[in-house]
C-alpha cells in the first residue's frame, strides 16, 4: 500500500518549504493512518496542494459519525457556515470530458501523448472527480446558505448536491476552491438524493467553459464524470419519471460564497414566516465579512483597516459594481440565467449555478429560459432589475455591520450607472464604433434590438453578420447583405410555432368569463398576466395566418433597411477626421470580430451532445467543448458564411459541426429546460 509520502508526491518538510511561497499551509494529515490507507494514492493529481482557509476561518459543524447516514439527513445547521460531509460512491464512474484550460488553473499539465498514459490519467480523473476517492488534503464540506427564491425568502437552502473539497494553492500563488456537484446527500438536501444527472451536468460543464471563453466572469468546470448509478427524475414534472444516469461536475472558482451566505442570519420573514438558521449570530456575520474582505478584497481591507463601516461600505460598493458589469455582459451576449435567486448570486461577481440557462436564438426581450418560471420573473430583459433587487437583499443581510441606509445609498448611486456604462461600452464594440462615443448611441442600440425583435432575428448571428456590413459610399453589396441578414430572421413557420397558444381554448374562455363576472376572484387567482400573454399569442397567431412568406420577407427587409441607414450614418460619423479610412475599417472589423461570437452554447447543440452521451458516445461533448473554447473569429480565417437551419428530419447523431453557427432547427423550439 502506498505511503502518505508517496500519496502527497513530496515530503512533509518539502511541503513546508513551499507553503510560504504559495501563501498556503502544508496539506493537513488525513484523519488517521487507517483513513490514509483506505484512499488510493493519486499520481497525476498528487501535486495538488490543499490549504483549506475557509474551514479555518469560518465555523464548521462536525456531525458525529453515523453508519446509517443520519449525519447527512436533512436538518437545520445553526451556528455554522459549513457542515462536514462525505461523498457517496457511484457505480463504475467514467470520464465524459476534461477541460484542459480549466485544469491548467490548478497547475495540471497538458495531456500526455501516449495513449496508455492518457487512459491512466482519465481513470484517475474518474475516480477522484466523481468523489469515489478523496485527494490528500481534501476536506469535504457542504456550505450553509439561505436565499430569496422567486422573490420569497425560502429559509435555509445550502449545498444540497454540492461539496466543497478544499482550496488548492498553485505555484503561481493563486488559490482555487474545488467543488464537486452531484456527490450525494448533505444536511441541506431537503429530502432529495443530492445527485445530478448526466444531461444537467453536461449543460453546466459546457456552459461554464463557454462563458469563460466568451469573456464573461464565471465559475469554471474542470471535469464531467458519469456512472452506472441512476436516479429517478421527472424531467418536466408531468408525471413521467424515468431512470437517468448520475453524473458529477468538478467546479473551480476563487470562492462559491454567495449573497445567500449572508442571509443565514435573517430574522423571521414577514411574508413566509421563515428565518435563517443562525439568526442573531452577528458574531458569525462579522467573522464572514472579515474573511471575505481580507481574502477576496485585500485592497479594501488594507485601505480601510481602521474603519470597519467604511470597509464594509467599500466592499458592498465593489460587489454592486461587479454585479452590474456581470449582468451587462449577459445582456450583450444574449445569456439568460434562468434562476436569479439570491442564493445564485456570487459575492465576487461570477456567474454561478448553471441550471435552466439559455442563450437567445430569436431575439425576444421577454424570453424565459426556465419552463418553471411561469410568471416570467427572470425573463431576459428583467435580469438587470432582478440583480439590483438581489443586491438590495444583500444590503439588508449585511445590517448592522453595514447600516442599511448607507447600503441603499450605495446601490442607488452605483448600480444603474455602472450597468449602463459597461453595457454601452460593450455594445459600441459589438457595433464597431471604435473612434468616438456619442449620446445617441444608446438610441441606436435600442432601435437595433427593436428591429431584431420585430423581425425575429437571431441574436448571435445578427451581430456576427454586422461586421461584414458594406460601409463604402457607393453601398455596393448592400442588397446581398440585406439578403444575408433577412435569412437570419424568423421564418413564418418559426413564428407560428413560437406564438402558438399555450392554453386550451375552453380554459381561456372560462378565465375570461371569470374576469368579467368576478374580477376580485380572478385577481386572487393571480393568472391575469398569463391570460394577457395568451390573448397576445392568439392575436399574433391570427395576424400570422394572414401573412404570406413573401410579405414577411418584404416587411423584414424594410425594417432592416431603415435601421441600417441610421447605422451607416453613425459609422460615417465615427470615421470623421480619420485620414486613414483603411486603418479605421480594419480596426472596426477586428473589434467586432473580437466582440461578436460565432458560437454560443445553443440549446440544440447541448441537446445533441447530451443525446450522444446518454448513448455512451462522449465525442460530441468533447467536440462542442473545443468549439466553445474558440468562439470568436480568428485572424487569418476566411469570413464564415452562416448556414440556414438544417432540413427537418436530418440525423441528430451525425457530426454536425457545419450547423453549429446556424439558426436552430425547428425541432429545437420544442426543447424545454426546467
Which positions are catalytic? 343
How many Å apart are CA 330 and CA 92, to the nearest integer? 38
Buried b / exposed e over 619-628, threshold 16 CB at 10 Å, is: ebbbbbbebb
For residues 584 and 575, is the Cβ–Cβ distance under 8 A? yes
Handedness of CA 576, 580, 585, 587 (dihedral sign): negative
How many Å apart are CA 147 and CA 269, to the nearest integer? 12
Encode 125-169 in three state secondary structure. HHHHCCCCCCCCCCCCEEECCEEEECCEEEEECCCCCEEEEEEEE
Residue in 507, 497, 501 with CA at minimum distance from that of residue 527: 507
How many Å apart are CA 404 and CA 393, to the nearest integer? 10
DSSP conformation letters of 97-136 = EE-HHHHHTTT--PPPSSHHHHHHHHHHHHHHTTTSS--T
How many Å apart are CA 183 and CA 192, to the nearest integer? 12
If you count them, how many residues does the chain have? 674
Grid look-up 374580477 returns 519
- Supply 477's cell numbers: 453589396
From residue 89, alpha-carbon distances to 2, 58, 145, 603 in Å are 22, 28, 25, 31
- φ and ψ at 180, to 5 degrees? -105, 130
Packing angle of the helix pair 603-614, 198-213 (nearest 10 deg): 140
Neighbours of 67 (CB within 10 A): 6
Instruction: Establish how many alpha carbons lie within 13 A of residue 673's alpha carbon, considering only the half-sphere containing its beta carbon.
Output: 25
How many Å apart are CA 375 and CA 564, to the nearest integer? 35
How many Å apart are CA 346 and CA 257, to the nearest integer? 6
How many Å apart are CA 495 and CA 493, to the nearest integer? 5
For residues 172 and 66, is the Cβ–Cβ distance under 8 A? no
Helices (H), 297-403: 298-303, 308-333, 383-398
Amino acid at each position: 500500500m502506498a505511503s502518505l509520502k508517496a500519496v502527497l508526491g513530496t515530503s512533509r518538510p518539502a511541503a513546508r518549504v513551499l507553503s510560504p511561497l504559495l501563501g498556503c499551509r502544508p496539506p493537513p494529515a488525513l484523519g488517521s493512518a487507517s483513513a490514509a490507507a483506505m484512499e488510493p494514492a493519486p499520481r497525476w493529481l498528487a501535486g495538488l496542494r490543499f490549504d483549506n482557509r475557509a474551514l479555518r476561518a469560518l465555523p464548521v459543524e462536525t456531525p458525529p459519525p453515523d453508519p446509517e447516514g443520519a449525519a447527512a439527513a436533512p436538518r437545520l445547521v445553526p451556528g455554522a457556515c459549513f457542515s462536514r460531509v462525505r461523498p457517496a460512491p457511484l457505480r463504475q464512474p467514467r470520464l465524459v470530458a476534461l477541460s484542459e484550460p480549466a485544469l491548467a488553473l490548478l497547475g495540471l499539465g497538458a495531456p500526455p501523448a501516449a495513449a496508455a498514459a492518457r487512459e491512466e490519467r482519465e481513470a484517475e480523473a474518474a475516480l477522484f472527480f466523481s468523489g469515489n476517492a478523496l485527494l490528500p488534503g481534501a476536506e469535504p464540506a457542504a456550505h450553509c446558505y439561505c436565499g430569496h427564491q422567486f422573490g420569497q425568502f425560502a429559509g435555509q437552502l445550502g449545498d444540497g448536491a454540492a461539496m466543497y473539497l478544499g482550496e488548492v494553492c498553485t505555484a503561481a500563488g493563486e488559490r482555487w476552491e474545488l467543488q464537486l456537484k452531484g456527490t450525494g446527500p448533505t444536511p441541506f438536501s431537503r429530502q432529495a438524493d443530492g445527485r445530478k444527472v448526466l444531461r444537467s451536468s453536461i449543460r453546466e460543464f459546457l456552459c461554464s467553459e463557454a462563458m469563460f471563453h466568451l469573456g464573461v466572469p464565471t465559475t469554471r468546470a474542470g471535469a464531467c464524470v458519469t456512472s452506472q448509478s441512476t436516479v429517478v427524475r421527472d424531467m418536466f414534472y408531468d408525471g413521467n419519471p424515468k431512470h437517468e444516469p448520475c453524473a458529477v461536475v468538478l467546479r473551480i472558482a476563487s470562492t462559491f460564497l454567495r449573497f445567500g451566505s449572508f442571509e443565514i442570519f435573517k430574522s423571521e420573514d414577514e411574508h413566509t414566516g421563515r428565518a435563517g438558521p443562525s439568526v442573531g449570530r452577528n458574531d458569525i456575520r462579522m467573522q464572514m465579512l472579515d474573511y471575505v474582505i481580507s481574502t477576496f478584497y485585500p485592497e479594501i481591507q488594507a485601505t480601510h483597516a481602521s474603519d470597519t463601516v467604511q470597509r464594509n461600505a467599500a466592499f458592498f460598493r465593489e460587489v454592486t459594481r461587479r454585479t452590474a458589469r456581470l449582468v451587462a455582459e449577459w445582456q450583450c451576449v444574449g445569456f439568460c440565467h434562468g434562476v436569479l435567486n439570491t442564493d445564485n448570486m456570487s459575492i465576487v461577481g461570477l456567474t454561478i449555478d448553471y441550471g435552466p440557462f439559455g442563450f437567445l436564438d430569436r431575439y425576444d426581450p421577454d424570453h424565459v429560459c426556465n419552463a418553471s418560471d411561469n410568471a416570467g420573473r427572470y425573463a431576459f430583459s428583467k435580469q438587470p432589475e432582478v440583480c439590483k433587487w438581489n443586491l438590495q437583499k444583500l444590503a439588508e443581510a449585511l445590517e448592522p455591520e453595514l447600516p442599511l441606509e448607507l447600503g441603499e445609498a450605495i446601490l442607488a448611486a452605483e448600480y444603474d450607472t455602472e450597468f449602463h456604462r459597461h453595457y454601452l461600452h460593450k455594445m459600441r464594440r459589438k457595433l464597431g464604433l471604435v473612434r468616438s462615443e456619442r449620446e445617441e448611441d444608446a438610441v441606436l442600440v435600442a432601435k437595433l434590438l427593436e428591429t431584431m425583435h420585430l423581425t425575429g432575428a437571431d441574436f448571435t448571428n445578427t451581430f456576427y453578420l454586422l461586421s461584414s456590413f458594406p460601409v463604402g459610399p457607393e453601398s455596393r453589396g448592400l442588397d446581398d447583405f440585406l439578403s444575408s441578414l433577412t435569412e437570419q430572421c424568423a421564418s413564418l413557420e418559426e413564428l407560428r410555432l413560437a406564438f402558438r397558444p399555450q392554453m386550451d381554448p375552453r380554459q381561456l374562455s372560462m378565465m375570461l368569463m371569470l374576469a368579467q363576472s368576478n374580477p376580485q376572484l380572478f385577481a386572487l387567482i393571480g393568472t391575469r398576466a398569463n391570460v394577457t400573454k395568451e390573448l397576445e399569442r392568439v392575436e399574433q397567431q391570427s395576424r400570422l395566418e394572414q401573412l404570406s412568406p413573401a410579405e414577411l420577407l418584404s416587411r423584414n427587409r424594410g425594417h432592416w433597411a431603415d435601421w441600417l441607414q441610421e447605422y451607416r450614418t453613425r459609422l460615417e460619423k465615427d470615421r470623421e477626421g480619420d485620414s486613414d479610412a483603411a486603418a479605421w475599417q480594419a480596426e472596426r472589423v477586428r473589434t467586432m470580430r473580437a466582440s461578436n461570437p460565432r458560437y454560443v452554447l445553443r440549446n440544440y447543440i447541448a441537446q445533441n451532445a447530451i443525446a450522444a452521451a446518454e448513448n455512451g458516445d462522449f465525442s460530441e461533448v468533447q467536440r462542442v467543448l473545443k468549439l466553445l473554447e474558440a468562439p470568436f473569429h480568428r485572424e487569418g480565417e476566411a469570413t464564415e458564411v452562416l448556414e440556414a437551419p438544417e432540413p427537418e428530419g436530418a440525423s441528430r447523431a451525425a457530426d454536425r459541426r457545419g450547423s453549429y453557427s446556424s439558426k436552430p432547427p425547428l425541432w429545437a423550439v420544442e426543447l424545454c429546460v426546467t
